Structure 1
Amino acid sequence: MSEKDLRDIIAQVLTEMNVSDGATASAVEAAVAGKASPQNGTEIEDGCWDDVAAVDLRKQYLVENPVAKEAYYDLKQYAPCRLGIGKAGARYKTLPVLEFRAAHSAAQDAVFNDVDQDFIDKMGLFTVQTKCDSKDTYLTRPDLGRALSDEAVATIKEKCKMHPTVQIYVSDGLSSAAIAANVGDVLPAIEQGLKSYGIDYGTPFFVKYGRVGAMDQISEITGADVTCVLIGERPGLITAESMSAYIAYKATVGMPEARRTVVSNIHKDGTIPAEAGAHIADIIKKILDAKASGTDLKL
C-alpha cells in the first residue's frame, strides 16, 4: 500500500467520524509518520501466512516450558489430536485458532460443494441422482438420499451390465473432497485386484446426493452378488478427505445395517488409497467365498 493510499483511507475514515479538516490533516500526518517511523516498534512487511492447513498436528507442540515434553510428544504420534497447543493467558494462541478455523472451513466446503464434473468424466463414470433435488434436501432428508430417482433407475438398467458378480459405484456422501482425493487411486486398485482374482465386475458409475442405503436398491436393480460403494465420510476437524467403502452380499432394501462390511478412514493420513483398494478387493473375494458380509462374515 502506497503512502497516498494510506492518507486517503485515513482521511475518509476521519471525515465519516465528523472530525474537522484541521484535526483530520494532523491525524493523517501523525498516522503516516507513525507507520514510517521505526520508533513505534511495529514492522510492516509484505507477504502472507504459511498454509496453516499444512501443519502436521502430530509434530506441533506449543506448550512453553513443558515438564515432560518428550513423553507427551511421543503420545501425540498416535493420533493427530489438538493437544499440547499451549495458551496465551486464558486464551488459545493465534496459530491453533487459525488452524481450527481452516479445518472447520474445509469441512464445510467438503459437505456443501459438489464433486467436480470434470473429475467424474475423467474417471469414466456416468451420473445418476437420488430423489434429492438439491444439497439442502440431501442434508435434511436422509431417506430421499437412500432412494434413486425413476430416471436413475432407468439409466442404470440401460447402461450397466446386469447380474455382475460385483457392482462398484461412487457416491458423494457427506464429503466431495474425499471423492476427489481418493477415488482416482482406490477404484483402479479395486478393479485390478478383482481382475487378479478372476472376478468380474459391472459398470461403475456415480450417484449424486447418495446415502449408504442407496446401495440396497442398486443391488436389487443390477442383481449383483456383491455391491460396493465408495462414499465420502462426514468430515471432521482432522481431515475433510476421509472416504469409506461399504460392501454387502446380496443387499436388499430394508436389510439391517449389520449386513454391511465397511473399510473406513481411507485418506492420505489414514489407510492409504492404493492400499485400501487392494484390501477392499481382498475383502470382496472373502465375502464371495463365504457368501456373507457384515457381522455374518468372519475375517
Structure 2
Amino acid sequence: MNEQLVSMITQLVMEKMGGSTKADAPKNTVTPSEKSKETLSKLDETADNVAHEMPTAAPNDTLIKLYNHASHTQQQSYEPSFGEPADRIAPITTFQFEDDNVSESVQAARKHTPARIGVGRAGTRPKTKTWLKFRLDHAAAVDAVYGEVTDNLLKQLNVFQVTTRVTDKEEYITRPDLGRRLSDESKALIQAKCQNNPQVQIIISNGLSASAIEANIQDVYLALQQSLSNLNIDIGTTFYIDKGRVALMDEIGELLQAEVVVYLIGERPGLVSAESMSAYLCYKPRFGTVEADRMVISNIHKGGIPPLEAGAYLGTVVEKILQYKASGVGLVAKES
C-alpha cells in the first residue's frame, strides 16, 4: 500500500487515542484540532488521487489490485543483502536428475555383462525407466515359469507329448521329485512309439521356462539333427515332456537303453533373460547316475550362445562322448 497513506492513518489514530486517555479532558476535545483537520484533509486528497489513478471496480477488487501492485513493486525493488552485487548471486537452476553419463570403467563393464550396472538414480530411488524395466523383466520371468509350449510348435517339430507325475504347475515347483518320474501312461506310450537302443535319444521339456523352448528349440533341434546326421550318428525318436526335471533322463535311459541322452530344457528364468535354454548330456544315464557324470551347455538364447551355433556344437560333444564312452568328469579325465 501507499506508505504516505499508511503514515497518515497511523498518525491520526495515535492522536485520537492520546486525546481520549486524558481523564479531565473537556467534552469538546472530541472535535479534531486544526492539525488533525489538516491531516484529514491531506488524507482525503491522497485517497482521491489513488482512486482517480485506479480503474473503476468493486471495493474488494480495488483492495486486491492495490495489494498486488504493492507486492509487485516490492519484488522489483529487491536488492541483494549485505551489499553483494547482483552479478555475483548464483543463478537459480531447475532440479535435474542424475546425468546419464557414466565413467569409462562402467561403460567398459556394460560391454561384458547384461547386469544392471550404472543405471543411475533419482535421489535415493531408482529412475522410473530403470524401475519399469525391472518390473517388465520380472513379469516376463513369471510368465516363462507358468507358461506352456504351444501345440503348434510340437506339430512343427513332429514330436509327441508325455507327462510326469506332476498334476499342475504349483506341484511342479514345490515337488521336484515328481518331475523326475514319468507317469505310468507316459512310460507305456514311450515304449510303444520310441526306438529301443538308440545311439542318441533327444528329449525336450519346458522345465522352468516355456518361453525358452518357444524361442530357441527349432534352431537348436534342427541344427543338432543336421550335425548328428553329418557325423553318421543314429538318432532315436524325439518326444516332448511336460513339466520335466533334469534327472528324468535317468529313467528314460533305463527305459530305452539309450547310449547317450541329450535333454533340451528351459532353465529357471532370471531378470536378464527369461528365454535361456540348456542342453544336458549323459553317457548311458541310469537310475543312480551321479551329477558329476552329466554335462551341460547352458545360456542358449539370442543374448548368449546363439541357438544354431549351440545345436551344431552339441553334435561334436555327442561324438566325443561316444568316442570316449564317458561324460562329465569322466570325459574330462579320459581326454586329459
Please, what TM-score do these two structures have when normalized by structure 2? 0.69
Q: Which residue of 2 aligns with 1:136?
A: 170
Distance (whole Å) between structure 2 residues aligned to residue 97 and residue 110 of structure 1: 20
Q: Show CA shifts across 1:215-273 (max 9, x none).
A: 11011111110001100000000000000000000001121111101000000010000
Distance (whole Å) between structure 2 residues aligned to residue 271 and residue 202 of structure 1: 26
Q: Percent identity?
A: 47
Residues 100 and 120, structure 2, Cα contact 8 Å, conserved in 1: no
Q: Which residue of 1 aligns with 2:17?
A: none
Distance (whole Å) between structure 2 residues aligned to residue 161 and residue 65 of structure 1: 59
Deviation, 1:136, is: 1.2
Amino acid at match of 1:146: R
Residues 63 and 84, structure 1, Cα contact 8 Å, conserved in 2: no
| 1:64 corresponds to which of 79, 99, 104 | 99
Alignment of 1:62-141 (within 5 A): 64=99, 66=101, 69-141=103-175
Distance (whole Å) between structure 2 residues aligned to residue 63 and residue 243 of structure 1: 37
Q: Which runs of 5+ in 1 are unaligned?
A: 1-61
Distance (whole Å) between structure 2 residues aligned to residue 63 and residue 233 of structure 1: 36
Residues 162 and 224, structure 1, Cα contact 8 Å, conserved in 2: yes
Larger radius of gyration: 2
SS where residue 88 of structure 1 aligns? coil
Distance 1:94 1:288, change over 3 A: same
Q: Which residue of 2 aligns with 1:211?
A: 245
Amino acid at match of 2:107: Y
Residues 98 and 122, structure 2, Cα contact 8 Å, conserved in 1: no
Residues 130 and 145, structure 1, Cα contact 8 Å, conserved in 2: yes
Distance (whole Å) between structure 2 residues aligned to residue 122 and residue 191 of structure 1: 14
Q: Which residue of 2 aligns with 1:178?
A: 212
SS where residue 270 of structure 1 aligns? coil
Deviation, 1:194, is: 0.4
The reply to whether residue 294 of structure 1 matches residue 328 of structure 2 is yes
Amino acid at match of 2:282: A
Bigger helix share: 2
Distance (whole Å) between structure 1 residues aligned to residue 288 and residue 154 of structure 2: 29
Number of residue pairs the alignment of both structures matches: 237
Deviation, 1:69, is: 2.5
Distance (whole Å) between structure 1 residues aligned to residue 184 and residue 98 of structure 2: 58
Alignment of 1:32-71 (within 5 A): 64=99, 66=101, 69-71=103-105
Residues 63 and 85, structure 1, Cα contact 8 Å, conserved in 2: no
| 2:316 corresponds to which of 272, 282, 286 | 282
Deviation, 1:277, is: 0.2
Distance 1:65 1:85, change over 3 A: closer
Q: Show CA shifts across 1:180-201 (max 9, x none).
A: 0000100011110001111001
RMSD: 1.2
Q: Which residue of 1 aligns with 2:84?
A: none
Q: Show CA shifts across 1:267-287 (max 9, x none).
A: 001000000001111100000
| 1:168 corresponds to which of 186, 193, 202 | 202
Q: Which residue of 1 aligns with 2:53?
A: none
Distance 1:65 1:202, change over 3 A: closer
Q: Which residue of 2 aligns with 1:263?
A: 297
Q: Which residue of 1 aligns with 2:236?
A: 202
Distance (whole Å) between structure 1 residues aligned to residue 263 and residue 216 of structure 2: 13
Distance (whole Å) between structure 1 residues aligned to residue 100 and residue 107 of structure 2: 13
Q: Show CA shifts across 1:155-191 (max 9, x none).
A: 1101111111000010110000000000010001111
Distance (whole Å) between structure 2 residues aligned to residue 195 and residue 78 of structure 1: 35
Distance (whole Å) between structure 2 residues aligned to residue 82 and residue 211 of structure 1: 30
Deviation, 1:133, is: 1.1
Q: Which runs of 5+ in 2 are unaligned?
A: 1-96
The reply to whether residue 224 of structure 1 matches residue 258 of structure 2 is yes
Deviation, 1:126, is: 0.1
